[in-house]
Amino acid sequence: MNQILDLLKNIFVYRENKDYEFSLPSNTINENTESNEVEYKNIHPTLSVNLEYLKVKYNALISRDIKFREFIFSSHGREYNACIVFIDGMVDAEIINNFILKPLMLIDKDNKPKTTSVAISNNITVRKVKKFNLENYIFNCLLPQNDIKKIKEFKDIISEINSGNCALFVDTLPIAFSLDVKGFKHRTVSVPQNEVVVKGAQEAFVEVLRVNTSILRRIINNENLIIENTTVGNVSKTNIAICYLKNIANDELVGEVKYRINNLDVDSIISAGELEQLIQDEGFTSFPQLISTERPDRVANLLFNGRVAIIINGSPYVLVAPGILVDFISSPEDLNLKQQFSNILRIIRIIAIFFSLLLPGIYIATTIYHPELIPTELLFSIAASRESVPFPIIFEIVLMEVSFELIREAGLRVPSPIGPTIGIVGALILGEAAVNASIVSPILIIIVSITAICSFAVPDYSLGFTLRFLRFIFLFLGYISGFLGIALGLFIYFGILGGLKSFGVPYLEPYFPIGNKDTAATIFLSPIWLREKRANFLATKRPKDAGNISMLWKKPKD
């Protein structure tokens, strides 16, 4: 009884809308904040200056995978401050320990300068010391490495660090040494299993957080990439990294992501899927609101667009916020293809979405309520095929849809060697036998198979799930009132989509409301040289991602 009362109250009594709401602010562009920082071109002889500069550059206080190891080594009786800089996860710690730190720190303290001649005059001994060059000495004697470069400029050394080298700074020297100590975890990085592309990178994220961050660093190759660490889970203390490009992503968006992640009161988080459900805006819709991907190149692309990535230790899937509808119908392949091809592919995907959502509903609506819409000959063949079927259409179609879902589920769960067998038994033998036994009509088998194929053509797994689930609702609506029911369903469906927001971004951007379409986040891509802007719904700090003329070679300056 109470439950019924609650239900009635839920429906009829006004309650104030206490839903949490977050909207991205208006499209103000904070011009590059870096401009007022001191820019150094060349490496300074003073170590502390160099380190300060690098720490600022790398945001070392928040980026936790940048390591600065300061130490002292002595040579020729003098002590020198030195420091190595490297990115954790990209280097081989063994090499650094054994072949950089050991030779530098453990050299003989008594290594006195060699005296070439001694002259004594007026009780003052003047020792002529052999001319000693520290730079050459380190280069020639102290670093047993095969690949060492002497670098004078900061931008070069930063690039070297980003690519996995270790930089050695020594006080008094206006140069830095770049040492090749790259040590990626090659073993664990494998080919993506679930987001396969033809033209594109063939590596996927793995379960280890540091490896994933290093892959991102390697692709993005820019010191503005910030990787912040935090932990979630009162018991599990799962490590989570929030990555974004400092000079592109909107600060409020980054703040919102951090705010949501830091304000979770759960005991444990194991996977990206769990975290996704905990931080999404709207819990009751089945639409995905965060992009979940296993492809580093896709994450890098999205980061360059101004979004925020969330890496969870222990999960090979990386979440990217915000995710809007356009993201879920685009595949990482699209950006690698010419825009004509990818646009054709997207049209095909939209058709697939339409069919997988509505085809059974339209079939049942036309056959029950609108038989005049079907062309005469087609109608006669449908009617003839249903002649000896004992079930009503609704039962027949639900039977087939459910058994299809069963086949799909069974095919997923059984050990992989038996998997294809289920498919063959289910699809071929069962379908054929059902038709021969006049339990279902052949037309219906075609409808169900087209729906199934279309639902596989949807690139995003979660969106595919949503469509599969909603398909049954439209089937039911079409059954009770034909096109009126389908119109009702679509109208409410559009209403839900229109009200949805992902991290403050309306779900149907850039179409409803209208945003700029010269970006990568549109259904129909413009040619790559015209895609010179970042999506304005992300309110990025750098609204353009290419010059007005990106192909400068076409218009050489006179």
Partner 1 sequence: MKKIFTFAFVALFIILIAVSRYNVNNQSIENLAYVIAIGIDKGENNLIKLTLQIATPSSGSSDSEGSEQTSGATTTTVECSTINSGLNIINSYISKKLNLSHCKIVVFSEEFAVNGISNEIVCLNGNVEIRPGCSIAISKCAAKDFIEITKPVLIKQTARFYEVVVNSGDYTGYSMNVDLSDFYRALHDDSYDSVAILAGINTPSTHTIPNDVNYIDIDTSYKEGQAFIENKNNMQISGLAVFHNGYLIGELNSMDSICHLILQNKLQNAIINIPNPFDNTSIINLSLTQLSPPNINVNLVNGSPYINCKIDLKANIESLYTKSDYSTKENLKIISEYANNYLESHILDYLYKTSKELHSDTIGFGKYMLSKFSTITDFHNQNWGANYKNAFFNIKVNTDVNNGNLIIKN
Partner 2 sequence: MDYKKISTIEAIALIVVIMVNQVLISVAKDIIIDTASGAWLHTIFISILAIFLFLAMNKLFSKFLNLSIIDISNFLAGKVLKSIVCIALIGFFILSATIIIGNMCRYIHVIYLSNISILYLILTFLIAAIVVAKHDITVIVKNNLMGLYLLFIPILILFGVSFFGTNFSSLFPIFGYSFKDTFLTHDTNIYAFSGLIYLFLINPLLNDTTKYKKIGLISIIISSLYLLLTVVSLLLQFPFSYATEDLFSIYLLSRILSFGNFLERVDALYFFLWILSSFAYLSIIFFFLTDTFKQMTMSSSRTGSMYAFGAIILGFVISIKDITDLRFLQRNVFSYYTIALFILLFSILLISYLKSKKKPFNSN
Helix (H, G, I), strand (E, B) or coil at 197: coil
Residue 218: name the closest of 327, 148, 316, 299 by CA: 299
Q: With CA atoms as reference, report the closest residue to 208 among 315, 308, 297.
A: 315
Note whether 483 binds partner 1 by CB under 8 A.
Answer: no
Is position 17 an interface residue for partner 2 (rule: CB under 8 A)?
yes
In the list 513, 524, 527, 551, the residue contacting partner 2 (rule: CB under 8 A) is 513
Q: From the CB of 492, what's the least distance to partner 2, in Å?
A: 5
- 401's enclosing H/E stretch is helix 393-413
What is the C-alpha separation between 20 and 211, in angstroms, rounded? 35
Residue 30 in contact with partner 2, rule: CB under 8 A: no
Question: For residues 508 and 217, is the Cβ–Cβ distance under 8 A?
Answer: no
**What does the DSSP 8-state code read for residue 218?**
H
Q: Which does 514 bind (CB under 5 to 8 A by kind): partner 2, partner 1, none?
A: partner 2
Is 494 a binder of partner 2 (CB under 8 A)?
yes
Q: Which of 236, 381, 403, 516 binds partner 1 (CB under 8 A)?
A: 381
Could you write out the three-class secondary structure of 269-337?
A: CCCHHHHHHHHCCCCCCCCCCCEEECCHHHHHHHHHCCCEEEEECCCCCEEEECCCHHHHCCCHHHHHC
CB of 187 to partner 1, least distance (A): 45
Number of residues that bind partner 2 (CB under 8 A): 39
Residue 552 neighbours by CB distance under 10 Å: 9
**Consecutive H or E run containing 81:** strand 78-87
* Minimum distance from residue 374 beta carbon to partner 1 (Å): 8
Q: Are 138 and 175 in contact (CB under 8 A)?
A: no
75 neighbors 104 (Cβ within 8 angstroms): no
Position among 60, 393, 435, 490 found at the interface with partner 1 (CB under 8 A): 393
Does the footprint of partner 2 cover residue 347 (CB under 8 A)?
no
- Residue 484 binding result from partner 2, partner 1, none, given CB thresholds of 5 to 8 Å by partner type: partner 2
- Please state whether the peptide bond connecting residue 25 to the residue before it is cis, i.e. omega within 30 degrees of 0: no
Q: Binding to partner 2 by residue 366, rule CB under 8 A?
A: yes
Minimum separation from the CB atom of position 398 to partner 1 (A): 13
Site residues (CB under 8 A) for partner 2, limited to 522-541: 536-537
How far is residue 469 CA from its own chain's centroid?
26
State the DSSP H helix or E strand holding residue 253, giving kind and residue range, or none if neither: helix 251-262
Contact segment (CB under 8 A) with partner 1 among 3-11, 168-176, 204-212, 317-325 equals 3-11
What separation in angstroms does the CA of 490 have from each of 211, 355, 450? 44, 14, 21
β-strands 505-506, 66-75: how paired? unpaired
Site string for partner 1, 344-373 (x = CB under 8 A): -----------------------xxx-xx-
The listed partner (partner 2, partner 1, none) that binds 152, CB under 5 to 8 Å by sort, is none
Query: Contact region for partner 1 (CB under 8 A) — 102-110, 149-157, 425-433, 478-486?
Result: 478-486
Q: The tokens of 501 are what?
A: 């927001």
Minimum CB distance to partner 1, residue 474 (Å): 12
Minimum distance from CB of 515 to partner 2 (Å)?
A: 8
Output Rg (C-alpha) for the chain, integer angstroms.
32
Does the footprint of partner 1 cover residue 105 (CB under 8 A)?
no
Binding site for partner 1 (CB under 8 A): 7, 10-11, 19, 282-285, 367-369, 371-372, 374, 376-377, 379-387, 389, 392-394, 476-477, 479-481, 492, 496, 499
Binding site for partner 2 (CB under 8 A): 12, 14, 16-17, 23, 26-27, 366, 369-370, 372-373, 375-376, 481-488, 490-492, 494-495, 498-499, 501, 504, 506, 508, 512-515, 536-537
